[in-house]
Amino acid sequence: MKIGIQTWGSNGDVRPLLALADGLQKAGHQITLAATSVDNQSYQGICDQLGIAYRQIPERIDFDLEDFSKRSLHMNSLQWLRILFNEAFFPFEQAIYEAAQALVAENDYVIGRHILYPLKLAALQQNKPFFSVNFCPSAIPSGQFAPTGAPSLGRYLNPLYWKLLDAAGNWAFKQPLTRLWRSVGQTPPANVLTELLTSQQLNLVAADPLFCIGSEEWQPFNKICGFLEFTEDAQRWALPDSLQAFLDQGPAPVYMTLGSFQQSVPEWSMDLFLQAVDLAGCRAIIQTSDDRYPSDSQTGNIYFIGKHPHQPVFKHCAAVVHHGGAGTTHAATRAGCPSIAIPFMDEQMFWGRRLHQLGLAVKPLPAKKVTVQALANAISATLAATGYRNRAQQASQTMQVNDGVAKAIELLQPYIR
């Protein structure tokens, strides 16, 4: 079958769909991947190696991620989402829609990242099946928990929160998010958050079952496949000799990164990490985002590393300090490492809280409030308590048997024969 896949966002939003594209390609399907990269990273090279047709839509996006991150650090979630859509999605909506129309016309089925309503619209217009991929289970209503940021009122009252959230989403976003639908004479779905942004035929939840609380109350089209881990680059990557030498010099280090957000606040993040390591008195591997600290260099008990696949390095570490992104959360836990989360936004706060609920991390330290002392204390507490490490290793064993890509293909199989 010919399958078109479309995504939008940073590297962490593209890689899961790239993993799915690779799996479907190896299963005998012909795949085209279209990506709108807000950090202007191209995936042409890796797609060429995998035999996947690739399109960058548009070729370059005029969006200053560093400036946005600095401005949004102290915004509330509603402000953050509005500005992100206004600056990084709506200006490119027409190009994304035209790419979606082409994908639908050229393929038997299309799969899109949750939020890609232009692809859903194009599939509806051409009467083709559309499936979505949701990276975060916190966006799916369940009576077992309240929306992120709201206190739980219990199984019977939490649904009221979700209805209020739907109403708030319609109030804040329905007009701009349904503008495209109205412009082509289509009636948009009634609710933005629970209908417009996902497929009601099959919505793949790309998170390990370990993190999916309340899934038994989900509507039946929401199916957990597990995390879509792209492993192709990890198989081609080897530890640098200098990193191996550093690992051999002493006890397992703490790994520190803020993912794509770190590139946006390079000096702040590096100063936070360096001072916290000094206070905690630990060894560390820090993903560098600052020219002052070149990759594959070492200063005392700190090794600075550039971009690399996470899993091969995490398995040598005692803990991982990260921003609470879905990919890093899964990679750290799968490697048997406890986490220390410094979330910037609600979705990342969900992962940080879920890690804490599972006993895999201390309470998350929101980026807008984190201090050097608080981070140092969290590192020391994590390293001192063997329970975090033991539970992380148990969680790792559970996750090792789950193959998100294989499960996703299994769930898609009834539709793409």
Q: Which residues contact 49 (CB under 8 A, 6 or more apart)?
A: 232
User: Can you give the residue range of the structural domain that contains 44?
Assistant: 2-227+402-412
Q: Say whether both 208 and 244 belong to one domain.
A: no
The pairing of beta strand 284-287 with beta strand 254-256 = parallel
Say if residues 78 and 172 touch (Cβ distance below 8 Å).
yes
Ordered strands of the 53-56 beta sheet: 53-56, 30-37, 2-9, 109-113, 130-134, 203-205, 222-224
pLDDT at 214 over 90: no
Contacts 24+ apart (CB under 8 A), 165-168: 165/193, 166/191, 166/192, 166/193, 166/194, 168/78
* Residue 75 pLDDT: 72
Task: Find the farthest-apart pair of alpha carbons in the chain and give their distance in angstroms, rounded.
Answer: 66
Count of structural domains within the chain: 2
* Residue 163 pLDDT: 83
Confidence class for position 156, pLDDT limits 50, 70, 90 = confident
Task: Indicate whether 155 belongs to any domain.
Answer: yes
Task: Indicate whether 358 belongs to any domain.
Answer: yes
List Cα–Cα distances, 374 to 69, 278, 356, in angstroms.
Answer: 22, 13, 16
Identify the DSSP state of 52.
Answer: -
Alpha carbon 323 to chain centroid distance? Answer: 10
Identify the DSSP state of 60.
Answer: S
Q: Say whether both 221 and 259 belong to one domain.
A: no
pLDDT tens, residue by residue, 248-300: 999 999 999 988 777 777 788 899 999 999 999 999 999 987 888 888 899 99
Q: Say whether both 241 and 158 belong to one domain.
A: no
Q: Say whether both 236 and 188 belong to one domain.
A: no
pLDDT at 154 over 90: no
pLDDT tens, residue by residue, 364-409: 999 889 999 999 999 999 999 999 999 999 999 999 999 999 999 9
Q: Give phi and psi for 258, each to the nearest 5.
A: -120, 25
Mean pLDDT estimate for the chain: 91
Q: Say whether both 122 and 247 belong to one domain.
A: no
Task: Indicate whether 361 belongs to any domain.
Answer: yes
Q: Say whether both 223 and 277 belong to one domain.
A: no
Task: Indicate whether 164 belongs to any domain.
Answer: yes
Q: Say whether both 258 and 122 belong to one domain.
A: no
Task: Indicate whether 190 belongs to any domain.
Answer: yes
Q: Say whether both 62 and 18 belong to one domain.
A: yes
Q: Which residues contact 326 (CB under 8 A, 6 or more apart)?
A: 12, 16, 135, 136, 206, 207, 227, 347, 351
Confidence class for position 168, pLDDT limits 50, 70, 90 = confident
CA–CA gap between residue 277 and residue 230 (Å, rounded): 30
Q: Which residues contact 316 (CB under 8 A, 6 or more apart)?
A: 247, 252, 253
pLDDT at 44 over 70: yes
pLDDT at 334 over 80: yes
Q: Say whether both 40 and 69 belong to one domain.
A: yes
Task: Indicate whether 252 belongs to any domain.
Answer: yes
Q: Say whether both 268 and 354 belong to one domain.
A: yes
Give the dihedral of Cα atoms 257, 359, 215, 207; nearest 10 deg.
30
Task: Indicate whether 417 belongs to any domain.
Answer: no
What is the average pLDDT across 68-76?
73
CATH number, domain with residue 240: 3.40.50.2000
Q: Say whether both 219 and 250 belong to one domain.
A: no
Q: Say whether both 201 and 95 belong to one domain.
A: yes
- Cα–Cα nearest to 224, from 413, 403, 44: 403
Neighbours of 30 (CB within 10 A): 16
58: preceding bond cis by omega (within 30 degrees): yes
CA–CA gap between residue 7 and residue 116 (Å, rounded): 7
Coil, helix or strand for 118?
helix
pLDDT at 149 over 70: no
* Residue 193 pLDDT: 83
- Cα–Cα nearest to 21, from 89, 107, 93, 95: 107
The pairing of beta strand 297-299 with beta strand 302-305 = antiparallel
